[in-house]
Amino acid sequence: MRRDTPGLIRHYAKECDELKGYGQMARATIADIAGRAGLSTATVDRALNGRKGVSAANRQRVLRAARSLGYLPSEGMFALPSRPARLGFLVPFGGNAFMQEVTDAITRFADAQPLVERCSIIALNGIGPDAFADGLDQVPSGTDGLGVITTDHPRTREALRRICESGMRVVTLASDVLATPRADYIGVDNLVAGRTAAQILGMLTRGQTGSVAIFCGSQSFAGHREREYGFRSCLQEFYPNLQALAAIETSEDGDRLNQEMRRLLRTQPDLLGVYCAGAGRKGLIQVLETTAPTARPHVVLHDLTEDTRQWLVDGQVDAVIDQNARLIGEQAVLRLLGAIASGSVQLPLQHIEPRIILRENIPAGQSMI
């Protein structure tokens, strides 16, 4: 049984309804719109596809005419392309099960959509700007829109600016890249997610005094920085009895996390909790499996996968803050299509709501996530 909030269900159902209704909306033709707007078909085509050379007044005339003829969604819904689009996604896989589940969701959803002509998944060989640059070189020519999971680095930001200026629409997934003209960000509010983790650990420790460890994959990810900041700010505000230790970057490496966790258990006898904001979590669980139950700290981490599901069942993990890989993948395709269709560089930002998964409310299966 799904555990989505009612607001999330309504929002997702609305966007699915828009996509299902596309066949009806497309019955009007560009010639019909041109006749209604009193403009040439060439002008209408440029306006609908967000190309240059159309005045703001004429663009509005085209959009009004298109909506009145049922060619575009009504007010409050975002537009969809007038022809099938070619999409690409750059994803740093590594050993990250969440990334794989996101791309699986993207592929399944895109394959079922008549508005997607092609969907290419480019695996990045790492998380840094060099890996991102190499991935960009592999993007097929003619790609209309690009979804990226990447770090917030000056070279990455500059590359994204150049891509957007070329006319390609870009959306970021899971971790945003700020100060870039990307059209949209698809994912949870990571600041809120970090504060949620702090509240969970504060409730689990029940007023005890001690330290809390923070593991992040890389602070080059804006999302990991935001999670850490939210976590620390919530502890300082509401749980001053818990001391947040210096964050440990693991580069998403399970062996590194394993070593650091063993060190903390030796040097921090008052360790009450662990917040793992990134990947490499198997290294953490390997340590906890050999730790006496009375010495085991409370653990909160991110993303519901087959592994984290089992760790919840086995009691190795207390809570998982999930950003819903399936929903991110499907929203990435929908919002990228909307960005391609609209003349606006940036769509209204709508975060995916994080879900708190405990042992007693684990969804029935991965297909239900």
- Per-residue pLDDT reduced to its tens digit, 263-298: 999 999 999 999 999 888 999 999 999 999 889 999
Q: How far is CA 276 from CA 85, 207, 352, in A?
A: 38, 21, 20
- Closest by CA to 122, choosing from 108, 136, 105, 106, is 136
At residue 352, φ and ψ (nearest 5 deg) are -80, 135
Dihedral of the alpha carbons of 234, 239, 242, 247, in degrees to the nearest 10: 0
- Strand 169-173, strand 319-322: pairing: unpaired
Q: How far apart are CA 332 and CA 171, in angstroms?
A: 7
Q: How far apart are CA 157 and CA 89, in angstroms?
A: 17
Q: What pTM was estimated for this model as a whole?
A: 0.76
Which of 25-39, 209-223, 294-308 bottoms out in mean pLDDT, i.e. has the lowest? 25-39
- Strand 210-216, strand 145-148: pairing: unpaired
| Strand (E) or helix (H) holding 260 | helix 254-267
**What pLDDT, on a 0 to 100 scale, did the predictor assign at position 113?**
87
Task: Name which residue leads in pLDDT, 236 or 341.
Answer: 236
At 194, is the secondary structure helix, strand, or coil? helix
- For Cα atoms 37, 169, 324, give the angle at the middle one, nearest 5 degrees: 115
Q: How far apart are CA 114 and CA 19, in angstroms?
A: 10
- For Cα atoms 138, 144, 145, give the angle at the middle one, nearest 5 degrees: 80
Burial level of 45, CB count in 10 A (0-12/13-18/19+)? middle
**Proportion of the chain in helix, strand, coil states, percent, rounded to 5:** 45, 15, 35
Q: Which two tokens stand for residue 226?
A: 């935001």
Which of 2-16, 40-54, 81-95, 261-275 bottoms out in mean pLDDT, i.e. has the lowest? 2-16
Split at pLDDT 50, 70, 90, the class of 16 is very low
Partnered with residue 322 across adjacent β-strands are: 355
**What pLDDT, on a 0 to 100 scale, did the predictor assign at position 312?**
96
- Closest by CA to 335, choosing from 15, 113, 112, is 15
pLDDT(8) > 50: no
Question: Alpha-carbon Rg of the chain, whole angstroms?
Answer: 23
Q: How far is CA 191 from CA 169, 180, 239, 245, 353, in A?
A: 26, 19, 17, 18, 12
pLDDT(249) > 60: yes
Q: How far apart are CA 164 and CA 148, in angstroms?
A: 13
**Using one digit for the tens of pLDDT, what is the confidence trace for 52-75?**
677 878 877 887 787 777 665 443
**What pLDDT, on a 0 to 100 scale, did the predictor assign at position 196?**
97
Q: How far is CA 98 from CA 213, 219, 305, 311, 336, in A?
A: 22, 18, 6, 15, 20
Asked if 291 and 317 count as a contact pair (C-beta separation under 8 A), the reply is no
Write down the number of H helices and E strands in the chain: 14, 12
- Closest by CA to 224, choosing from 100, 92, 369, 346, is 92
- For Cα atoms 318, 94, 106, give the angle at the middle one, nearest 5 degrees: 85
